[in-house]
A and B are shown apart, each in its own frame.
Chain A
């Protein structure tokens, strides 16, 4: 019996290993730029919730460079407006009463002025900080939320897919009250639970 169990154990581990090593080549490395894919980091620390989104600009905008005409600038503003409306992107457990404190958007190829929320618009410059020569560009978004009843918070529904059709998959990592976890989100599976 002992031998059998040990054999089973090593067999299971061997299968796990071979299956585990196989996808190494295509395992998602931090910072990789894959169109359709974005990464989401969620930290729940007491009453504060911070969400970081890292996505190729293409997923959100359809192009990855500084806007060249008024129409493209309009697209950038529309994208920024959607990202500032964080309560339509992330739906928290209602009982937790979470509200948005701040949202920051940043992209190397887009002017901060274009990314500012409607309220702040006009503050920043309209010229891009980086040259548009880089073929790929990302957008980093950070949202801060505060929850009145954090102990009621059990999950977040991520509605980014509805707003940005270029997004196909989100690799989410969560650091919550019950420890770390990860989830692969798709338009069909949009809930983060902990």
Chain B
């Protein structure tokens, strides 16, 4: 065995440029495969952690997934609002521990504006039941106070006390501005990796206030209520978009869900966020599975390349193999020599890919968290990823047998004098 390993290594070293390139291409394909697998599992985790402490999400009757998308991920728009009275009914229900209303629809330079109450900062939990934390400042106290997420602050360069103007609606550019009622940044939140980072939070009263002199999506002609007078008006909210609810006892969640779904005064939808996210994920999983399949194909391409390279090299090595036979290497040794060479490249490539992935993880994790809101907790491989890695190596070993077998046949036919 020892002469075999020695020869296999010497031979591989002799052709290190070609085999090195093969190892790199296998490393890249392994990186892709493991990376996709890693993203798959971790994205799912961070997905389901995005609203960990909330028992129910309430909105107007729509599909559970759509409600989750707009209420939790701020994707898409709500079709209907729910009445403030409905919210109060829920908030005052004896089984409810806390209720946080949110009101969506306006934006600030592309970022969502969320009207809510200060309870939001006390009850909204994510990941392992972490609460929102302030990088600086404090929750909104005055009507024209705003609390901005980490991305908003970073990308627009906001600091405490800065004055900002909100847009009406949530499209793109060219939106009408609530220019007459500027807000003051009262707090900046720490990064969470959630939609919160890309949101501007103001009070429900502020939402009412900036729309006092608006009707049908445009300022009312001839009417302008200056900011300093808005306090004289009734700013009690009339409608909200959605609500997050925490229960006193987890056990009552299905009962509460039924209670809300059967609410007579208004068609409401109560969704268990964890359940809805699982359902959403089962739809998205078609995409993630295709991604995984594609990367598995890339690995297959890498391994075929390896076989092709070793096979192509076999022609030039005919004489060398005959020499080895003349000094005592049997056809089986020749077989193993080629098989080991292939396996070495596969193992080297796989390990290189693993290292590359870990290195990449260290660099990319913060970027993903910043830009996609996907927080990848650690880059320790999941059991499934290890299994994939072993599978790649086992497949690599199997395909390495192909050139081994060819060499075996060749050396049987050639004997000591290669026919060239």
Asked if B141 lies at the interface with its beta carbon under 8 angstroms from chain A, I say: no
Asked if B284 lies at the interface with its beta carbon under 8 angstroms from chain A, I say: yes
Asked if B272 lies at the interface with its beta carbon under 8 angstroms from chain A, I say: yes
Interface centre among A8, A20, A52 (most CB of B within 10 A): A20
Asked if A21 lies at the interface with its beta carbon under 8 angstroms from chain B, I say: yes
Asked if B280 lies at the interface with its beta carbon under 8 angstroms from chain A, I say: yes
A170, chain B: closest CB distance, angstroms:
13
Mark interface residues in A118-134 (1 if CB within 8 Å of B CB, else 0).
00000000000000000
Q: Which of A5, A19, A31 meets B367, CB within 8 Å? A: A5
Which chain A residue lies CB-closest to B54?
A180
Give the residues in chain B near A15, CB-CB below 8 Å.
287
Within 8 A of A (CB), among B241-286: 249-251, 253-254, 257-258, 261, 272-276, 278-280, 282-284, 286
Give the residues in chain B near A174, CB-CB below 8 Å.
275
Asked if B65 lies at the interface with its beta carbon under 8 angstroms from chain A, I say: yes
A155, chain B: closest CB distance, angstroms:
15
Contact A182 B65 (CB under 8 A): no
Mark interface residues in A6-23 (1 if CB within 8 Å of B CB, else 0).
101100110111011101
Q: Given A9-B372, A180-B272 in contact, is the A175-B250 Cβ separation under 8 Å?
A: yes
Asked if A50 lies at the interface with its beta carbon under 8 angstroms from chain B, I say: yes
Complex Cα gap A181–B275 (Å): 5
Mark interface residues in B293-325 (1 if CB within 8 Å of A CB, else 0).
000000000000000000000000000000000
Give the residues in chain B near A48, CB-CB below 8 Å.
251
Complex Cα gap A13–B286 (Å): 14
Give the residues in chain A near B250, CB-CB below 8 Å.
43, 45, 175
Contact B371 A20 (CB under 8 A): no
Q: Given A27-B64, A179-B48 in contact, is the A20-B69 Cβ separation under 8 Å?
A: yes
Number of residues in A with C-beta < 8 Å to the partner? 34
Mark interface residues in A152-194 (1 if CB within 8 Å of B CB, else 0).
0000000000000000000001110001111110000000000
Contact A179 B278 (CB under 8 A): no
Give the residues in chain A near B64, CB-CB below 8 Å.
27
Asked if B63 lies at the interface with its beta carbon under 8 angstroms from chain A, I say: yes
Complex Cα gap A13–B74 (Å): 11
A91, chain B: closest CB distance, angstroms:
22
Contact B275 A5 (CB under 8 A): no
Asked if B368 lies at the interface with its beta carbon under 8 angstroms from chain A, I say: yes
Asked if A24 lies at the interface with its beta carbon under 8 angstroms from chain B, I say: yes
Give the residues in chain A near B63, CB-CB below 8 Å.
24, 27
Give the residues in chain A near B280, CB-CB below 8 Å.
16, 20
Contact A175 B272 (CB under 8 A): yes
Q: Which of A20, A43, A45, A183 meets B283, CB within 8 Å? A: A20
Asked if B118 lies at the interface with its beta carbon under 8 angstroms from chain A, I say: no
Q: Which of A12, A23, A179 meets B274, CB within 8 Å? A: A179
Q: Given A17-B76, A20-B283 in contact, is the A175-B372 Cβ separation under 8 Å?
A: no
Asked if A41 lies at the interface with its beta carbon under 8 angstroms from chain B, I say: yes
Q: Can you name 13 extra interface pairs (CB under 8 A) apart from A5-B368, A8-B372, A15-B287?
A: A2-B367, A17-B75, A20-B65, A20-B66, A21-B66, A27-B63, A27-B65, A43-B251, A179-B48, A180-B273, A181-B278, A182-B272, A182-B279
Interface on A for B, CB 8 Å cutoff? 1-2, 5-6, 8-9, 12-13, 15-17, 19-21, 23-24, 27, 30-31, 41, 43, 45, 48, 50, 52, 173-175, 179-184
Interface on B for A, CB 8 Å cutoff? 48, 52, 55, 63-66, 69, 75-76, 249-251, 253-254, 257-258, 261, 272-276, 278-280, 282-284, 286-287, 367-368, 371-373
Contact sample, A vs B, 21 pairs, CB 8 Å cutoff:
A5-B372, A6-B371, A9-B371, A9-B372, A13-B75, A16-B284, A20-B283, A24-B63, A27-B65, A30-B258, A43-B253, A173-B254, A173-B275, A174-B275, A175-B250, A175-B272, A180-B55, A180-B273, A182-B274, A182-B275, A182-B279
